Amino acid sequence: MALTYFGAAGLRDRLEEVPLEYLAAAAEDLAGTGPFAVYGVSKGGELALVLGATHPAVAGVAAMVPSFPGVSALHSDLQPWSGPGAPSGMPMGHVEPPHAGELFAPGTAFRTTRARGPRTTVPTLLVTTGDDTVLPPLRMEVPAGKTLERVHIQGAGHLIQPPHLPTTATVAPYGDGWLLLGGTPARNALANRTAWTRTLRFLRLLDSE
């Protein structure tokens, strides 16, 4: 199941105060088929961590370059999630949108705001990159008896996607300017292959338990 949670008909226009009840309803639909894992990239990776911590049917989480749960989206002071169990984070702060042609790298100003990350409550695969200029690499706490597999790819940027797709784009349109994603085409291609391979292995291990 691929879940859209904002920016579509009947949903929030922006990634602000998305009800966890909506996400839990999707999880309930999957729960009837047996144990399942949640996969996400960037804010979707954050969402995967939130669902893994709040919904008992989630058997595992694969989070690619996630943000700290509860951190607001860019240019917003509102929490991304709402409802019982929603994490309480902090705003990234009002940053002026980039001017025409300007490169924007929010992660460079955000790297020191958190020393520790959330506690994993289910088996978790955490993939981070060394040249992510959008978000700082997330750290997580691991309670006794829980499994956390960390994969860190040096020199790669924020854009994690399936392998064999073009990796030449190290910036993305944002406002009137450009969002700097970081990395190089070669390192980003390596990150895509590594993340995909480790995710498939992680899911196979979950399925065998």
Global confidence as pTM: 0.83
| pLDDT at site 95 | 46
CA–CA separation, 105 vs 129, rounded Å? 15
pLDDT confidence of residue 110: 46
Query: What domains can be seen in the chain, in order of their start residue?
Result: 32-70+102-109+119-208 (3.40.50.1820)
Q: Encoding tokens for residue 175?
A: 């406002």
How far is residue 5's CA from residue 27's CA, in Å, rounded to a whole number?
13
pLDDT at 202: 94
- Tell me, rounded to whole angstroms, the distance of Cα 84 from its chain centroid: 20
pLDDT in tens, 8-56: 998 988 888 888 898 888 888 888 888 899 999 988 998 898 888 888 8
Handedness of CA 54, 140, 167, 192 (dihedral sign): negative
> What integer pLDDT is reported at residue 143 of this predicted model?
60
**Residue 200 CB partners (closer than 8 Å, separation 6+):** none
Q: Give me the sheet containing 103-104, strands edge to edge.
A: 103-104, 177-180, 171-174
Give me the residues of the chain with pLDDT under 50, please: 91-95, 97, 108-116
